[in-house]
């Protein structure tokens, strides 16, 4: 059976610079897959290739066995790919509920959209923030709302771009709970993240990029103890 998301032999160059070099990775339904690496490793470039913002020089991206390499972000979204951005991208002057409704109404009308929103707010335990303006939320809650908003499009996979940025440890722990709830609902999560603690705590599988190439993939335990990973992060030979 194909993985939900499969990235094969992806290459991206900027002029003479190889930003992504022959990268392959998979993300499975019901699992949280991490993508980590030091600054400049190529994470954002690869993320853009996966969500359709950048065409790779070569290689392919497929979703549930179908090649989506040539599709744009909107087409990918219709096939069930949702994403969040590095900065908070909520409508600040709308309530949390209305932020979700705007997204839900792309697929459903009136009472059906409202029902879906209430169900999701309940599922990720954000009901008490429903009437708060997005502008007034602490960053960590805003991040959770972004994931909740992504859920309203009924995605099969959610791509998260550094969601722990700006969160304190308590917020990050709560965010980890939200991610576990999301994947328990039969969704795949691909998490691009600098916060190693979050990655090590929630991911089933972790891919490590350095200088554009995957240097190792495996469980958090495997990655944590891998000499090439320690070298890439700490700059020391082990
Ligand atoms: N538009 C661009 N033009 C030229 N070089 C680029 C461009 N975007 C990224 N790069 C280069 O490609 C490499 C990978 O960058 P990328 O932003 O993907 O890394 P990253 O792992 O996301 O880094 P960070 O963690 O700092 O966000 C870097 O050397 C970067 O300088």
Please name the residues in contact with 218: beta carbons below 8 A apart, sequence gap of 6 or more: 205, 206, 226
Q: How far apart are CA 51 and CA 58, in angstroms?
A: 16
Its ipTM equals 0.95
Q: Is there a domain that residue 114 lies in?
A: no
Q: Is there a domain that residue 100 lies in?
A: no
- pLDDT, one tens digit per residue, over 68-94 is 999 999 999 999 999 887 766 899 999
| 143 has pLDDT over 80 | yes
CATH number, domain containing residue 171? 3.40.50.300
- Confidence grade of residue 237 (pLDDT, cut at 50, 70, 90): low
| Better pLDDT: 23 or 106 | 23
Please name the residues in contact with 98: beta carbons below 8 A apart, sequence gap of 6 or more: 91
Q: How far apart are CA 1 and CA 134, in angstroms?
A: 41
**Ligand 1 center–CA 5 separation, angstroms:** 23
Does 49 contact ligand 1 (Cβ within 6 A)? no
Q: What is the pLDDT of residue 224?
A: 87
| 235 has pLDDT over 80 | no
Q: Is there a domain that residue 230 lies in?
A: yes
Residues 47 and 10: beta-carbon distance below 8 Å: no
What is the three-state SS of 32-48?
EEEEECCCCCCHHHHHH
- Confidence grade of residue 152 (pLDDT, cut at 50, 70, 90): very high
Q: Is there a domain that residue 94 lies in?
A: no
Q: What percent of the chain has pLDDT over 70?
A: 96
Q: Is there a domain that residue 134 lies in?
A: no
* Domain boundaries, position 25: 5-42+50-87+155-234
Q: What is the pLDDT of residue 83?
A: 87
Does 12 contact ligand 1 (Cβ within 6 A)? no
Q: Is 71 helix (H, G, I), strand (E, B) or coil?
A: coil
Ligand 1, pocket-test mutation among 15, 19, 207, most atoms within 8 A of CB? 19
**Ligand 1 center–CA 43 separation, angstroms:** 8
- pLDDT, one tens digit per residue, over 153-211 is 899 999 998 888 888 888 899 999 999 999 999 999 999 998 888 999 999 999 999 99
Does 16 contact ligand 1 (Cβ within 6 A)? no
Number of domains in the chain: 1
Atom 24 of ligand 1, residue of closest alpha carbon:
39
Q: How far is CA 213 from CA 11, 207, 223, 227, in A?
A: 9, 10, 15, 16
């Amino acid at each position: 059976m194909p993985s939900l998301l499969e990235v094969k032999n992806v290459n991206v160059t900027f002029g003479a610079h190889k930003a992504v070099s022959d990268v392959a990775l998979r993300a499975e339904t019901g699992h949280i897959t991490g993508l980590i690496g030091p600054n400049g490793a190529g994470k954002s470039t690869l993320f853009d290739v996966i969500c359709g913002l950048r065409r790779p020089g070569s290689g392919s991206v497929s979703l549930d066995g179908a090649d989506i390499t040539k599709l744009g972000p909107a087409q990918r979204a219709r096939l069930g790919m949702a994403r969040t951005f590095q900065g908070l991208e909520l409508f600040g002057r709308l309530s949390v509920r209305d932020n979700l409704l705007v997204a839900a109404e792309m697929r459903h009308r009136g009472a059906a959209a409202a029902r879906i929103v209430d169900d999701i707010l309940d599922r990720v335990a954000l009901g008490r923030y429903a009437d708060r303006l997005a502008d007034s939320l602490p960053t960590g809650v805003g991040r959770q709302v972004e994931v909740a908003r992504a859920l309203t499009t009924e995605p099969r996979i959610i791509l998260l771009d550094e969601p722990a940025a700006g969160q304190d440890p308590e917020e990050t722990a709560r965010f980890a709970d939200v991610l576990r709830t999301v994947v328990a609902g039969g969704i795949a999560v691909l998490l691009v993240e600098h916060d190693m603690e979050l990655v090590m705590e929630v991911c089933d599988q972790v891919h490590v990029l350095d200088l554009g190439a995957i240097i190792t993939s495996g469980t958090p335990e495997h990655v944590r103890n891998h000499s090439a990973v320690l070298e890439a992060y700490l700059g020391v030979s082990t």
